[in-house]
């Protein structure tokens, strides 16, 4: 059964209302003009399909493993590199980034289980998600989870050129369960994950991944 995320309730309702009003007006004024009539139908069907597919929330089965880092989002791997993480760790980390296009599922899931030790929202710009400075200058939310083995992993929701709202449910002190939802980003964006140096990465550049299921990396 197709499920939809709660963050889409208002958007879906508005689009369905607009589509209904559009079709009523269409039937009233354009019924005698077949080309225009069916064009309007195509437009509202497109709008409804797009909004429904964007807010879909499929069930995912996460195999719990404290050594595995699971992909926090659907999308494509666009960055695998060592970099300086300057907000929380303030040292070298291995960064893996996943870009979410508007057609991807936009639910974000905990990549590891443990304790949320840091959660902070940052207002910012709306550079395109693949811009090198989007990780530090765009609107974003940073979350750090510490495992039972005292390994900390940072993941960051980043708004893109289209995204204007980041939703993050993770709060400091929360218990994080691997694979469970921790947030949602509207309309295209990316998630960065910062891992300890030496972590074994299981994905490759441009690989398509599934949130809550694809093993991103293995902690040592």
Residues serving a catalytic function are: 189
Distance CA 109, CA 70 (A): 9
Using DSSP's 3-state secondary structure scheme, residue 88 falls into coil
On whether the CB atoms of residues 5 and 37 are closer than 8 A, the answer is no
Residue 95 parent element (H or E): strand 91-100
- 141: which residues sit within 8 A by CB, 6+ positions away? 119, 120, 121, 122, 156, 157, 166, 168, 183
Residues 113, 191: Cα–Cα separation, whole Å: 17
Q: Are 216 and 95 in contact (CB under 8 A)?
A: no
* CA contacts within 13 A on the Cβ side of 202: 14
Tell me the C-alpha distance between 216 and 106, whole Å. Answer: 17
Residue 8 is given by DSSP the state: G
Residue identified by tokens 């050594």 is 67
Residue in this structure with the two tokens 């750090």, named with its chain if needed: 144
């Amino acid at each position: 059964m197709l499920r939809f995320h709660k963050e889409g309730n208002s958007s879906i309702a508005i689009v369905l209302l607009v589509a209904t009003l559009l079709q009523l007006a269409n039937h009233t004024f354009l019924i005698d003009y077949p080309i225009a009539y069916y064009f309007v139908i195509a437009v509202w069907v497109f709008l409804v399909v797009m909004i429904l597919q964007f807010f879909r929330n499929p069930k995912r089965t996460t195999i719990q493993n404290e050594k595995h880092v699971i992909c926090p989002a659907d999308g494509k791997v666009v960055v695998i590199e060592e970099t300086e993480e300057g907000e929380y760790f303030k040292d070298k980390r291995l960064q893996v980034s996943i870009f979410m296009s508007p057609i991807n599922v936009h639910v974000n899931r905990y990549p590891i289980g443990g304790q949320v030790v840091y959660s902070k929202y940052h207002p910012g710009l709306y550079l395109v998600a693949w811009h090198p400075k989007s990780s530090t200058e765009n609107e974003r939310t940073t979350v750090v989870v510490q495992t039972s083995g005292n390994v900390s992993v940072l993941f960051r929701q980043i708004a893109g050129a289209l995204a204007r709202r980041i939703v993050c449910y993770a709060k400091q002190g929360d218990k994080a369960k691997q694979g469970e939802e921790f947030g949602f980003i509207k309309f295209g964006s990316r998630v960065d994950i910062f891992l300890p140096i030496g972590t074994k990465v299981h994905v490759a550049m441009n690989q398509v991944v599934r949130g809550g299921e694809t093993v991103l990396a293995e902690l040592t």
